[in-house]
Amino acid sequence: MLTRHGVAAGALALLLVLAGCTAPMVNPALDDGGAAGGPSDTSVVASPDANFSDPSEDVLGWEDGYWYNESIDVNQSDGLSDEELRTYVARSMARVEYLRHKEFEERVSVDVLSRAEYRERTRSNARSGSDSGPSAFDQWNNQVWEALFVTGETGDSQEAISETQSSSVAGFYSPRNDAITVITPSPDSPRIDNATLVHELVHALQDQHYDLTSEKYRGETQDGDLAIDGAVEGDAKYVELLYRDRCGVEWECVATPAAAGGGGAGGSGGGPNLGILLTIFQPYSDGPVYVHDRVQEGGWEAVDELLEDPPESTEQTIHLTDEKPVPIEYRSRATNGWSTFPNQGQSGSDTVGEASMYVMFWYQARTAGADTVDPRGIVQTESRYDTYNYDAVPSSGWANDRLFPYKKASGGESEYGYVWVTEWDTEGDAREFRDAYRKILRAHDATRQSENTWVVEDGEFADAFRVRMDGTRVTIVNGPTAEDLDDIRPAAN
């Protein structure tokens, strides 16, 4: 995990704290053995002599007195001592250098934090509202997640993200502090999972060479953030998987007790929201495949180039393409007191992208029985570096989207709605999206009021919806009642 501070970009603003973090809850089965795609840049990994003597200068594959393939005397069954932790980190850094073919410029600090304290920190970060009610960002953000049918009318998206984050994160790297923090159930006698440590060390290595505080690693939208993380997290997860391949085969690895790397979720709460969790996880799933493809084409130098110029959309990381989103121009025509949130997102809008659209269809199939996608298809992957499959008929063919939340003050209360403009590669793609979206409405017992207008009377998504297709564009207008739809976005003549 990579922490980022002070940026509220897209509907995943809180995920800027989560983005980059090791997500050990789901691990792919590496079933065909061996590591893929050897390094092809000009760096050369040094070889130790028979006695593992220290080199005369810092070399690739050696760090702080330890070679990448050297045995170490570390036993964390009763927790790591300070000396054991230093040794463990040093050899892990050497192994990251060996796998990634890039030299650490300085030692990386590793701290530990209890799950309870981490949970409290994330909850505090989520409390961005005030006694007078939720902040403008929270109101805006809630509409984005409601549009995705992940959190409903009475749900708080920030609380749901916080709960998902605090239950799932095993460790994170902070570019601001140049330090790794590992979540552990016993901070006084910490035990650290090998994969968690290696993953976060890759982020430290990235930061030392590319400066992860740079604006280019902050997307302006939800889809932009997930796409960038496809490169940043993909690099770290790919190295982590290469490391896993070697443990117990080529390398001795420090045994990790089952509870290490963060322990259970602990505390109160209903656990993670699977729709949010699946959205968060997309860079960790498709990112390693995306990075592996680059390594196969041009070695690690190609990955360096990727980190200098990250992808723009999750479509690129899902389909291994360089296709750019098509522009969408939009001018609000709202009347009767309805307005956008001009200071939020990208001129009031967010782009949720193909990955989040897939999650919408999957989550509604799983929780509401919508006939959108086969929920079992998510585990039908083709690459050994892939965990989940985010490619499905109703979300593929995405060309771009812009989602504009709206608000209206009414009698001391606020009413909300949104306009979601989606653009598709072909009319067939647009039709598949429209038809699958209508199936979500039917799953919530929507009644059809006219050719394009539907009303859900009860439940967490009780609202009116206009779903209109015009060529390769599908526009969805949402409001409290059917009468509000024309005020939010007057129907085309």
pLDDT (tens digit per residue) in 317-351: 999 999 999 999 999 999 999 999 999 999 999 99
Rounded Cα–Cα distance for residues 4 and 364 (Å): 31
**Is the pLDDT reported for residue 262 higher than 70?**
no
Q: How confident is the model at residue 259 (pLDDT cuts 50, 70, 90)?
A: low
Rounded Cα–Cα distance for residues 427 and 329 (Å): 19
Q: Hey, is 239 helix, strand or coil?
A: helix
Hey, what long-range contacts does 364-369 have (CB within 8 A, 24 or more apart)? Answer: 364/149, 364/440, 364/443, 366/274, 367/275, 368/149, 368/440, 368/443, 368/444, 369/443
CB atoms near residue 308 (< 10 Å): 12
Average pLDDT over residues 113-136: 74
**Is the pLDDT reported for residue 166 higher than 50?**
yes
Phi and psi based region of residue 6 (left: phi greater than 0; alpha: psi -120 to 50; beta: remaining): left
Q: Hey, is 173 helix, strand or coil?
A: strand
Structure token pair of residue 173:
């790297």
Q: How confident is the model at residue 31 (pLDDT cuts 50, 70, 90)?
A: very low
pTM, whole model, 2 decimals?
0.89
Structure token pair of residue 302:
């190609």
Instruction: Calculate the average pLDDT of the chain.
Output: 88
Residue 419 and residue 407 in contact, taking contact as beta carbons nearer than 8 Å: no
As a dihedral over the C-alpha atoms of residue 311, residue 316, residue 322, residue 324, rounded to 10 degrees, the angle is -80
Average pLDDT over residues 186-198: 92
Strand arrangement, sheet containing 171-174: 109-114, 179-184, 171-174
pLDDT of residue 108: 96
Backbone angles phi, psi at 371, to 5 degrees: -85, 65
- Residue 436, C-beta contacts closer than 8 angstroms, at least 6 positions apart: 361, 372, 373, 393, 394
**Is the pLDDT reported for residue 198 higher than 50?**
yes
pLDDT of residue 44: 84
Structure token pair of residue 198:
């290696």
Rounded Cα–Cα distance for residues 234 and 103 (Å): 19
**Is the pLDDT reported for residue 125 higher than 80?**
no
> Which tens digits make up the pLDDT trace of 426-468?
999 999 999 999 999 999 999 999 999 999 999 999 999 999 9
Average pLDDT over residues 115-143: 78
Residue 416 and residue 425 in contact, taking contact as beta carbons nearer than 8 Å: no
> Which tens digits make up the pLDDT trace of 54-98?
999 999 999 999 999 999 999 999 999 999 999 999 999 999 999
Which residue did the predictor score with more confidence, 264 or 469? 469
Q: Hey, is 199 helix, strand or coil?
A: helix
**Is the pLDDT reported for residue 273 higher than 70?**
yes
Alpha carbon 468 to its chain centroid, in Å, reads 30
Nearest alpha carbon to residue 226 among 286, 140, 170? 286
Name the helix (H) or strand (E) containing 123: helix 115-126
> 171-174 and 339-340: which strand pairing?
unpaired
> Which tens digits make up the pLDDT trace of 373-421?
999 999 999 999 999 999 999 999 999 999 999 999 987 789 999 999 9
Rounded Cα–Cα distance for residues 378 and 272 (Å): 18
Nearest alpha carbon to residue 102 among 289, 295, 364? 295
pLDDT of residue 401: 98
pLDDT of residue 122: 75
Which residue did the predictor score with more confidence, 106 or 4? 106
pLDDT of residue 2: 61
Structure token pair of residue 125:
């970060």
Rounded Cα–Cα distance for residues 298 and 234 (Å): 16
Structure token pair of residue 110:
């590793």
Least confident range of 8-12, 133-137, 235-239, 339-343: 8-12
Structure token pair of residue 143:
């509409």
Buried b (16+ CB within 10 A) or exposed e, 178-207: ebbbbbbbbbeebbbbbbbbbbbbbbbbbb
Rg for the chain, CA atoms, rounded: 24
> Which tens digits make up the pLDDT trace of 10-22?
333 323 333 334 4
pLDDT of residue 124: 72
Q: Hey, is 29 helix, strand or coil?
A: coil
Which residue did the predictor score with more confidence, 479 or 32? 479
Angle at 29 (CA atoms; ends 304, 184), nearest 5 degrees? 75
Percentage of the chain with pLDDT > 70?
86
